[in-house]
Amino acid sequence: MRALVKTAAAPGLELTDVPTPEAGDGQVLIKVLRTGICGTDLHIDGWDAWAARSVEPPRVLGHEFVGEVAGLGAGVTGVQVGDLVSGEGHLVCGTCRNCMAGRRHLCIRTIGLGVHTDGAFAEYVVLPEENVWVHRHEVDLDIAAIFDPFGNAVHTALAFPVLGEDVLITGAGPIGIMAAAVARHAGARSVVITDVSEYRLQLARKIGATLALDVSTASIKDVMPELSMTEGFDIGLEMSGRTEALRDMIAAMRPGGRIAVLGLPTGSGDVPVDMATIVQRMLTLRGIYGREMYETWYSMSVLLQGGLDIGPVVTHRFGYEEHADAFAAARSGQCGKVVIDWTQPLAGQSAGR
């Protein structure tokens, strides 16, 4: 089968032929239809320090996908051939304290699909049955392909109740934009999202943000009066991983405000913050990683059935032979989510949304 592979410990990827995997006991063989490009994939393509520590070539990349079940291993009972499915890319041990307590998203021995084991940038991928999410209702293939990052957005946006609250989101990447849509759909009074990319701020406006703010030209506090805010934001969703964004968010929160942090800091990971403000305003900071298995997945499906539209976040689609163009588009920042179609070699176009 054709697959996009990190063949050597150096920058770049290769579209090459590799053996088609087989479904073992308890596993599901999936024919991949579409995949989304994640920031993780960009790191592996560029072969930065994190990738060099985390990935052992050769490795098939990819963990965001939708596909059709093509085969079943022994013992699989909840999935059928022909089912349309997405996959949870965190493979957990099932035996650690958190797994045994049903908190699988906190597994201490998590293995990443497309990072530590061969992934979905290929014509076929194999997953354990418990990592396969069957779409029981009609769903757009582009959206089903990005259920993984959509799950990050839902997990973060719903970490705290948002009904009637003023929500601040720092970072208008695709996940931040989807989180804005989720927060509005869940009843937030206002949703302010910040960035310095006018392209992505426009996407955020299109998807329903109350205000999309370019923080290179305006201050978060400057916009509070026009939104009838007097004490600060109730909920913060930090998506950027930038120190200044977290600092600005902390300064803009009301007493008792709550912050969910998804963005991973670059560099050393040290992020100086105003601890006095956190203590004196009694703020709550909660780290978010991945999705809750599988409560977030259920929430995603229900939100879409309830009319949530995240379609505009998918801006580009390419065929699998155009993978270099797809990665270049994803790296440019002038895009939302970039999808690769594994059913055709050439597609090279915007998603037309």
Q: Is 99 annotated as a binding residue?
A: yes
Task: Return the DSSP state at 95.
Answer: -
Place of tokens 């393509």: 45
Q: Residue 22 annotated as binding?
A: no
Q: Does residue 40 carry a catalytic annotation?
A: yes
Determine whether 274 is exposed, middle or buried from the number of CB atoms within 10 Å of its CB (0-12, 13-18, 19+). middle
Question: How does strand 284-287 pair with strand 253-261?
Answer: parallel
Residue 64 marked as a ligand binder: yes
As a whole number of angstroms, the distance between CA 336 and CA 128 comes to 30
Structure tokens at 333: 């920042």
Q: Check whether 320 is labelled as a binding-site residue.
A: no
Query: Would residue 323 show up in a list of annotated catalytic residues for this protein?
Result: no
Distance of CA 189 to the CA centre of its chain: 24
Place of tokens 């999410």: 133
Residue partners of 253: CB distance under 8 A and separation at least 6: 168, 232, 233, 234, 236, 259, 281, 283
Is 335 among the annotated ligand-binding positions? Answer: no
Catalytic residue among 35, 40, 210, 315: 40
Q: What are phi and psi of 329, to 5 degrees?
A: -65, -45
What is the pairing mode between strands 337-341 and 27-36? antiparallel
Q: Which residues contact 280 (CB under 8 A, 6 or more apart)?
A: none
Asked whether the bond before 58 is cis by omega within 30 degrees of 0, the reply is yes
The answer to whether the annotation marks 264 as part of a ligand binding site is yes
Beta bridge mates, 125: 30
Cβ density class 120-158: b for 16+ within 10 Å, e for less: bbbbbbbbbbbbbbebeeebebbbbbbbbbbbbbbbbbb
- Residue among 43, 117, 277, 284 flagged as catalytic: 43
Could you count the other beta carbons within 10 Å of the beta carbon of residue 196? Answer: 15
Q: Answer yes or no: is 200 a known binding residue.
A: yes
> Does residue 289 have a known ligand-binding role?
yes
Q: Is 323 annotated as a binding residue?
A: no
User: Which SS3 state, helix, strand or coil, does residue 239 take?
Assistant: coil
* Six token digits for residue 75: 């013992």
- Residues marked as binding for NAD(+)? 175, 195, 200, 262-264, 288-289
Q: Which residues are known binding-site members for Zn(2+)? A: 38, 63-64, 93, 96, 99, 107
| Residues recognised as catalytic | 40, 43
